[in-house]
Amino acid sequence: MDADALWVNARLLTFDPAVSAPYGLRDGWALAVRGNTIAAVLPPDAPEVRAFTGRVTDCGGKWVTPGFSDCHTHLIWAGSRANDWQDRLTGVPYTEIAKRGGGILSSVRATRAATADELVALALPRLRALAAEGVTCVEIKSGYGLTTADELKMLRAAKRVAGEVGVELSATLLAAHAVPPEFAGRADDYVSLICSEMIPAAAQENLAEAVDVFCESIAFSPAQCDRIFASAKAHGLAVKGHVEQLTNQHGAELVARHGGWSVDHLEYLDAAGVEALANAGTVAVLLPGAFYFLREKQQPPVEALRNAGVPMAVATDLNPGTSPFASLRIAMNMACVLYGLLPEEALEGVTRNAAKALGRGDRFGTLEVGKRADFLVWDVLHPAEIVCHLGVTPLAERVVLGCSRGL
């Protein structure tokens, strides 16, 4: 067997769709790694396992999952939105806070004033916290700059942070997060700037691989988002969308028509939107942290998504104002408690389906031959403990690119 290292006596939660057992379980199997790639997934009595003379790690019956992907974060920001939260606790709605100049625009002011070095220093603890829970791939959005220079500053900071922590980065341009103050009353002009300047600049510097939008009554209309998507695709970038969070703007159908990677939030998604996602193969990303923090009542149509076979991912939506949680395990727990996901669905939502939401389903998210050798060894009695037991992280080993990393 052409391999450098072997992990044996493992309870592999492969999430391989070809394996019919729950979690794609291969109980007692071995995982062989060559370089940074999974070279083989072998039963314990395989001749290759008995004959292997390289480095062997005995997992002692521990559970092994693919590395986690957090497929929706706003990890780069400056300033604080704790005052917004305090106002919401007194009954001021999210939309009213935004109209007062709080919300996203509060973060925009602080982020514009920060240097790239300051943004990196602020973001490092957030990403390290995610990595400590098993995140080996993270999506990081811009969206608190809203000028070409500041959006690119955020994307450059994202690349630096991911490189320092040692995780795979999926960078997203979210210039269509809010209309900046200097374009008040001129949203169409700002959209033109995004299409003619920001998207080409991000693509030319290879700073983003996707473009996101906030398609909502308080943000950008479907027609404006359609223009942005057309520009993104013309420059070779994928598309995704914050949709149906506060109202139903039929943004999910728009993203699906453009062959988007994911649609995120989805509290007000209707049957037509579910059907469009199922037909397009677009991933539904659930963000229960924002649902919880905003004390929303309208739940995403999880049962309809499940019945339609729409892949569901789970992410933190880590951001300063509406989901300030640097914990993917908390997000999984919330997805189960608040939305009714089962632990297997939550774990699938941060592995196979999250990788698909980031356009990486061919390289990440399952324990299969040819996939990147990112995996996690868990010291638990049952996989559901990864989701339900919070406060301590029972992570025994974190392997990234075939190498064991510190916890």
Q: What is the CATH number of the domain that holds 267?
A: 3.20.20.140
Sign of CA dihedral 44, 48, 51, 54: negative
Query: pLDDT value at position 95?
Result: 77
Q: Do 295 and 398 fall within a single domain?
A: no
Q: Do 72 and 44 fall within a single domain?
A: no
Query: pLDDT value at position 220?
Result: 98
Query: pLDDT value at position 98?
Result: 76
Query: pLDDT value at position 88?
Result: 87
| Residue 99: how many other CB atoms lie within 10 Å | 12
What percent of the chain has pLDDT above 90? 94
Q: Do 210 and 261 fall within a single domain?
A: yes
Average pLDDT of span 203-223: 97
Query: pLDDT value at position 341?
Result: 98
Range(s) of the domain holding residue 22: 5-65+366-405
Kindly report the average pLDDT of the chain as a whole number: 96
Tokens of 5: 């290292």
- Alpha helices, DSSP H, located in 54-184: 82-89, 94-99, 104-113, 116-132, 148-165
Q: Do 38 and 90 fall within a single domain?
A: no
Give the number of domains in the chain: 2
Give 103-141 pLDDT, tens digit per residue: 888 999 999 999 999 999 999 999 999 999 999 999 999
Q: Do 311 and 220 fall within a single domain?
A: yes
Last residue of a domain, one of 333, 357, 381: 357
Give 272-326 pLDDT, tens digit per residue: 999 999 999 999 999 999 999 989 999 999 999 999 999 999 999 999 999 999 9
Average pLDDT of span 50-55: 93
Q: Do 317 and 375 fall within a single domain?
A: no
Q: pTM of the predicted model, to two decimals?
A: 0.96
Give 235-278 pLDDT, tens digit per residue: 999 999 999 999 999 999 999 999 999 999 999 999 999 999 99
Contact assessment for residue 38 and residue 31, using Cβ atoms and an 8 Å cutoff: yes
* Helix/strand/coil for 252: helix
Give 57-107 pLDDT, tens digit per residue: 999 999 999 999 999 999 999 999 999 999 989 998 877 887 787 888 899
CATH number at residue 15: 2.30.40.10
Q: Do 263 and 371 fall within a single domain?
A: no
Q: Are strands 37-42 and 283-286 parallel, antiparallel or unpaired?
A: unpaired
* Helix/strand/coil for 227: helix
CA 270 to chain centre: 23
Q: Do 19 and 115 fall within a single domain?
A: no
